[in-house]
Amino acid sequence: QSVLTQPPSVSAAPGQKVTISCSGSSSNIGNNYVSWYQQLPGTAPKLLIYDNNKRPSGIPDRFSGSKSGTSATLGITGLQTGDEADYYCGTWDSSLSAVVFGTGTKVTVL
């Protein structure tokens, strides 16, 4: 059902880096801004990145976002155990006139 495709899971050791991809189309990522959300177990999603690459106040610079064409990427450096969570990308889809989310990616710290 999700319009945006993410890898189901990524993992790395503490202190390492992970990247999460989000693939869409010209009607969503290709022509609109992307946001990223972190969902810790049993909690509501939290905004991590907005406008493709901006961090809200309080979000450490270990988290970064980028966009190229119809894909977006979330990067997490200096991985910590507290980063274990599900991560979702989101954007507006101009064809659907609706918000669409990615399929979600579970980050595991080994």
Partner 1 sequence: QVQLQQWGAGLLKPSETLSLTCAVYGGSFSGYYWSWIRQPPGKGLEWIGEINHSGSTNYNPSLKSRVTISVDTSKNQFSLKLSSVTAADTAVYYCARALTIFGVVTRYYMDVWGKGTTVTVSS
Say whether residue 24 binds partner 1 (CB under 8 A).
no
* Of residues 23 and 35, the one with the C-beta less far from partner 1: 35
Binder among 21, 77, 103, 108 for partner 1 (CB under 8 A): 103
Residue type, 16: Q
Question: Helix, strand, or coil here: 82?
Answer: helix
Cβ proximity to partner 1: between 30 and 75 the closer is: 30
Find, among 66, 50, 60, 54, the residue nearest to 83 by Cα. 60
Site for partner 1 in 32-71 (CB under 8 A): 32-33, 35, 37, 43-47, 50-51, 56
**If you ran DSSP here, which 8-state letter would residue 50 be given?**
B
Contacting residue, 55, 65, 88, 109, with partner 1 by CB under 8 A: 88
Q: How far apart are CA 48 and CA 39, in angstroms?
A: 10
Residues that bind partner 1 (CB under 8 A): 1-2, 31-33, 35, 37, 43-47, 50-51, 56, 88, 90-92, 94, 96-104
